[in-house]
Structure 1
Amino acid sequence: MELGFIGLGTMGAPMVLNLLKAGHRVRVWNRSSAPLEALITAGAEAVDTPALAAQAEVLISMLGDDTAIRSVFLDSGALEGLQAGSVHINMSTVSVALARELSALHESRGVDYVSAPVLGRVDVAAAGNLNILASGPAEALARVQPLFDVLGRKTWHFGEAADVACAAKLSANLMVASAIESLAEASTLAGGYGISRAAFIDMITSTLFPVPVYQGYGKQMADDTFEPAGFKLSLGLKDVRLVLEAGEAAQVPLPFASVLKDNLLDGMAHGQADQDWASLSRVSDRRAGVK
């Protein structure tokens, strides 16, 4: 299949490699040139503008936030590059409002828009084991399923409305952030009674919570090692803000999300923006006077 791919960050680059290994032709564009050399060596074709990348049977985008997507698609011409009859798969985590807006803009150009945010970090992306949350026109979803089969272990379908998959992803990220916060606070409490964070996390992730979210982030907290980040704290703050916006639009109170936003802001204020969001444990420790 002839593909375009926009956004070659920590998630996008390994996804392109998997598509190339599966035999697809991939035209790539990125705002910075750093990731391009390795992808060109692997067989990708680099182009000079987003519009050129968009001139494909299927375009995939994996950008950081709403602002980046607006810049690339509405200001830099990617939307105009899409041809009638093509499909755009947006795998970024974006606001439900932007998903609705983009869906309408694509429809007006005769282009199918598919929302497909993912669950998984860079190692999962590299292994092709992402969980893909997808919504969009049924025919378009069927058309791109072979690509999802390359990129992920399972595709979870959430109907035809573009914003629904976004809502599912934001709901999932709310739970991940809440798990990180609860583990941070609980391990700080245990530390107040002389229990090492490592010992407490080993116990809790081997008994009540033997699940990847607690185990993976718990190891980072136990080791007090948050760089390089699998998911930056600044991106966590972005997602929690999107969660709160989605809650307000649907008239769903989200008190945990408000607490998370303030704690993530605390981390930002203390220079943790580029650390993994597991560094919420440092916020909890500071508040307890530990560090």
Structure 2
Amino acid sequence: MQIGFVGLGAMGAAMAMNLVESGYKVQVYNRNPARSEPLRKAGATVASSPAQAAYLADVVFSVVADDAALKAVTLGEAGILATLKPGGVHISVSTIGVDTAQELTTRHREAGSGLVSATVFGRPDAAAARKLFVMAAGADEHLKVAVPLLEQLGQSVGIVGADPSQANLVKLIGNFMLSVIIETLGEACAVAGKAGIDPAHLIGLLTNANFNAPPYKIYGPMIASQRFQPAGFALPLGQKDNRLMLAAAEALGVPLPLASLVRDRFLAVRAQGIGADHDWSAMALCALNEAGLHKHI
């Protein structure tokens, strides 16, 4: 099986490397060619465009930052659809809006190929360790091709449905829930700090009790210590996902009061100069600032 792989950021590079190490023939493309070099040394072929990465491929993965980036690498003369052969499958791992996923599903159908949305939960270290949680959606014939590959990348593959956009919505819902956890952790650490309880000790106590779950164990210590660099998931990407969640909910006629609160938290922390070099958990600085407990901003 010939695999194309477009997008070699922290997540994409780890996933592509796992496919190479699993013995697949992989042709990679990244806008910054230097990102392709470790994969070339590991045995991958380096392409000069998304279209070249997709040429003769049975499956093409894309792992890019947002809707605009996904459209840029998929459509047009140099895009994936320009050369993906009929019957080929494009597996999109990006967190994008429901409307974009629906548009691209139609474009793939018109081109005689298939789109599978395979969104993932997990940070770059989980991607490297093949510990991602994958949420996949697409037509049955496309999922039959995609799922064995996705099983090489994660510890589980959940099938959402036949419409690729459903997997994108599940990802947005999950990130919305994580953002609310980040807000509650910020508020909890603010209360503890004002009461003279070491926030790190609080997190240790709670994550060994009722809150013994990965989001609390990952984000709790970061927020308690106000250690938001390096970014495992950059703040602007979290803000983008919140915006997409609100848009999806509005289209469905569903009010999301907590997502609206999180939106304002993102805006507030960005207004204070916190940017792309910070993890999205830096949103918790709002609660800490309001309590007068911030160490740096």
Which residue of the other structure, out of 86, 90, 93, is the alignment partner of 2:92? 90
Provide the residue aligned with 1:211 in structure 2. 213
Deviation of the 1:15 alpha carbon = 0.4
Could you tell me how far apart the structure 2 residues matched to 1:137 and 1:268 are?
40
Could you tell me how far apart the structure 1 residues matched to 2:224 and 2:191 are?
14
Q: How does 1:267-286 map to 2 (within 5 A)?
A: 267-273=269-275, 274-286=277-289
Deviation of the 1:82 alpha carbon = 1.5
Q: Give the counterpart letter for 1:282 in structure 2.
A: L
Q: Is the 8 A contact 1:15 1:126 kept in 2?
A: yes
Cα deviation code 1:61-84 (max 9, x no counterpart) = 000000111222224422212211
Provide the residue aligned with 1:68 in structure 2. 69
Runs of 5+ consecutive residues of structure 1 not aligned to the other structure: none
Provide the residue aligned with 1:262 in structure 2. 264
Provide the residue aligned with 1:142 in structure 2. 144
Q: How does 1:2-151 map to 2 (within 5 A)?
A: 2-55=2-55, 56-75=57-76, 76-151=78-153
Runs of 5+ consecutive residues of structure 2 not aligned to the other structure: none
Deviation of the 1:194 alpha carbon = 1.3
Q: TM-score, normalised by structure 1?
A: 0.97
Could you tell me how far apart the structure 1 residues matched to 2:32 and 2:291 are?
41
Cα deviation code 1:132-186 (max 9, x no counterpart) = 1000010110122210111111110011011111111111111111111101111
Could you tell me how far apart the structure 1 residues matched to 2:134 and 2:178 are?
16
Q: Is the 8 A contact 2:88 2:113 kept in 1?
A: yes
Deviation of the 1:252 alpha carbon = 1.0
Q: How does 1:185-224 map to 2 (within 5 A)?
A: 185-224=187-226
Could you tell me how far apart the structure 2 residues matched to 1:277 and 1:206 are?
24
Provide the residue aligned with 1:157 in structure 2. 159
Cα deviation code 1:234-267 (max 9, x no counterpart) = 1100100010011011111111001111111122
Which residue of the other structure, out of 259, 279, 292, is the alignment partner of 1:289? 292
Q: Is the 8 A contact 2:20 2:42 kept in 1?
A: yes
**Secondary structure of 1:5 counterpart:** strand
Could you tell me how far apart the structure 1 residues matched to 2:131 and 2:207 are?
22
Q: Is the 8 A contact 2:3 2:58 kept in 1?
A: yes
Could you tell me how far apart the structure 2 residues matched to 1:219 and 1:43 are?
38
Deviation of the 1:223 alpha carbon = 2.6
Q: Number of aligned pairs?
A: 291
Seq. identity, %? 43
Provide the residue aligned with 2:168 in structure 1. 166
**Secondary structure of 2:60 counterpart:** strand
Q: Is the 8 A contact 1:240 1:257 kept in 2?
A: yes
Could you tell me how far apart the structure 2 residues matched to 1:34 and 1:266 are?
35
Q: Is the 8 A contact 1:188 1:281 kept in 2?
A: no
| Deviating 4+ runs (over 6 angstroms) | none
Q: Is the 8 A contact 2:189 2:224 kept in 1?
A: no
Deviation of the 1:43 alpha carbon = 0.7
**Secondary structure of 2:148 counterpart:** helix
Within the alignment, does 1:235 sit opposite 2:237 as a pair? yes
**Secondary structure of 1:128 counterpart:** coil
Q: Give the counterpart letter for 2:191 in structure 1.
A: L
Deviation of the 1:221 alpha carbon = 1.6
Q: Give the counterpart letter for 1:283 in structure 2.
A: C
Deviation of the 1:286 alpha carbon = 1.3
Could you tell me how far apart the structure 2 residues matched to 1:281 and 1:91 are?
27
Q: Give the counterpart letter for 1:281 in structure 2.
A: A
Q: Give the counterpart letter for 1:259 in structure 2.
A: L
Deviation of the 1:34 alpha carbon = 2.7
